[in-house]
């Protein structure tokens, strides 16, 4: 049952969300824009250790920030 799916191996989903950053993400930054997202809606940005605080601050000043979670390995 070796199923090598190239799409699955692309790695794009675990990269830091900061524009131009190519580091692997280690955190999920959970956020929601109350004006456009429903109450139970959760958006997730991925962050490397270097940009974690940058992204949290970016969301926090807009009151979008909810929480930061470790990136679970089983999602990789």
- Which residues of this protein are in contact with Zn ion, per CB under 5 A? 16, 18, 21, 23, 48, 51
Nearer to Zn ion, 41 or 65 (CB): 65
DSSP string, 3-67: ---TTTT--GGGB--STT--SBP-EEEEE--TTTS-TT--EEEEE-TTTHHHHHHHHHTTT-EEE
63, 32 Cβ separation under 8 angstroms: no
Nearer to Zn ion, 17 or 66 (CB): 17
Smallest gap from Cβ 11 to Zn ion, in A, equals 14
Smallest gap from Cβ 51 to Zn ion, in A, equals 3
Smallest gap from Cβ 7 to Zn ion, in A, equals 23
Nearer to Zn ion, 32 or 46 (CB): 46
């Amino acid at each position: 049952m070796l199923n090598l799916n190239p799409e699955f191996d692309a790695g794009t989903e675990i990269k830091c969300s900061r524009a131009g950053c190519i580091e692997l993400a280690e955190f999920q930054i959970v956020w929601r824009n109350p004006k456009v997202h429903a109450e139970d809606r959760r958006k997730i940005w991925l962050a490397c250790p270097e940009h974690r605080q940058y992204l949290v601050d970016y969301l926090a000043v807009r009151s979008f920030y909810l929480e930061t979670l470790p990136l679970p390995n089983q999602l990789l």
